[in-house]
């Protein structure tokens, strides 16, 4: 499986900053082969970044979309609009959307179905909170997120990318150990009807990417904070395993 390195910029980088970031990144990674590189800027920057990465190895993703194709949904964005400006990927069910914006398994399921229908590749995020882990509920929570999120599309999971993002590791500097992550990746894989890529996310940085990527069940990484600086994201893209 070709490793997938995705950078989620979250609500950072205006258009000017986005253009500069991606331009610098291209200069640093243009010779990198055998990696799928995805940048995931905020909506306002997507079309600008799309023009810059056209005909390069860097691919475009969005951070969210609505489940309907169009209609009276003020403030929402259709997946069709994303495709139209060159997005190939869309993050669905990120923990910040679940925990801050109130998304639930049912709406996430609708979004995954629509993305499949219109031909966008979802990066479907699952993961437990620190409290759930402390209570020994990690597998139960992930199983619920997988079962409800993938309801009705279980046989198409090979067209979706999974991301295991323990909430306690996101933006906290606390990374899951490679063993902890690999254990959950194996659990997730054992629950899927078909094989697909499973990314790890949560405080991935240049200092820990090599040991994480050395785990055979970790097929790539979803990077937040460390994707906002071209040098650190380029180093992550250039990870090397022993
Ligand atoms: P982080 O974010 O790398 O800043 O922890 C990861 C994510 O939320 O995808």
Report whether 126 contacts 164 (CB < 8 A). yes
Average pLDDT over residues 150-167: 97
Report whether 187 contacts 179 (CB < 8 A). no
Residue 165: active-site member: yes
What is the 8-class DSSP label of residue 6?
A: E
pLDDT at 171: 87
Query: Mind listing the pLDDT tens digit for each residue in 101-153?
Result: 999 999 999 999 999 999 999 999 999 999 999 999 999 999 999 999 999 99
Average pLDDT over residues 191-211: 96
Select from 195, 190, 205, 214 the least CA-distant residue to 236.
205
Q: Look at the alpha carbons of 120, 128, 97, 60 in this order and tell me if their dihedral is positive or negative.
A: negative
pLDDT at 30: 86
Catalytic member of 96, 165, 185, 215: 165
Assign domain 4-237 to its CATH architecture: Alpha-Beta Barrel (3.20)
Min mean pLDDT across 96-105, 136-145, 154-163, 166-175 is at 166-175
CA count, 13 A, side-chain hemisphere, 49? 30
Query: Mind listing the pLDDT tens digit for each residue in 65-109?
Result: 999 999 999 999 999 999 999 999 999 999 999 999 999 999 999
Q: CB of 8 closer than 6 A to ligand 1?
A: yes
pLDDT at 107: 98
- Which ligand 1 atom is at minimum distance from the Cα of 8? 9
pLDDT at 194 over 90: yes
Whole-angstrom distance, CA of residue 134 vs CA of residue 192? 25
The beta-strand segments (E) located in 16-117 are 36-40, 58-62, 89-92
H/E element holding 198? strand 198-201
pLDDT at 167: 95
Select from 14, 126, 209, 128 the least CA-distant residue to 22.
14
| Beta-ladder partners of 89 | 61, 121
Q: Which residues contact 14 (CB under 8 A, 6 or more apart)?
A: 44, 45
Whole-angstrom distance, CA of residue 126 vs CA of residue 87? 22
pLDDT at 174: 86
pLDDT at 165: 97
CA distances 179 to 22, 105, 131, 186, Å, are 32, 27, 20, 10
- Which ligand 1 atom is at minimum distance from the Cα of 172? 5
Query: Mind listing the pLDDT tens digit for each residue in 21-72?
Result: 999 999 999 889 899 999 999 999 999 999 999 999 999 999 999 999 999 9
pLDDT at 46: 98
- Measure 170 CA to ligand 1 centroid, in angstroms: 5
């Amino acid at each position: 499986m070709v490793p997938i390195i995705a950078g989620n910029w979250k609500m950072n980088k205006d258009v000017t900053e986005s253009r500069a970031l991606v331009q610098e990144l291209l200069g640093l990674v243009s010779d990198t082969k055998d990696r799928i590189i995805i940048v995931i800027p905020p909506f306002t920057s997507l079309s600008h970044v799309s023009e810059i990465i056209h005909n390069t190895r860097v691919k475009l993703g969005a951070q969210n979309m609505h489940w309907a194709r169009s209609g009276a949904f003020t403030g929402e964005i259709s997946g069709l609009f994303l495709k139209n400006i060159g997005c190939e990927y869309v993050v669905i069910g990120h923990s910040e959307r679940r925990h801050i914006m109130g998304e639930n398994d049912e709406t996430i399921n609708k979004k995954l179905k629509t993305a499949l229908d219109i031909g966008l590749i979802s990066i479907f995020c699952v993961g437990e909170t620190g409290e759930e882990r402390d209570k020994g509920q990690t597998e139960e929570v992930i199983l619920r997120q997988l079962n409800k999120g993938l309801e009705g599309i279980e046989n198409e999971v090979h067209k979706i990318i999974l991301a295991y993002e323990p909430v306690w590791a996101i933006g906290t500097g606390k990374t899951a150990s490679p063993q902890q992550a690999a254990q959950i990746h194996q659990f997730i894989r054992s629950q899927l009807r078909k094989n697909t890529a499973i990314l790890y996310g949560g405080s991935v940085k240049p200092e820990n990417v090599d040991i994480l990527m050395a785990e055979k069940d970790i097929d790539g990484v979803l990077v937040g904070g460390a994707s906002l600086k071209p040098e650190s994201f380029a180093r992550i893209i250039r990870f090397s395993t022993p």
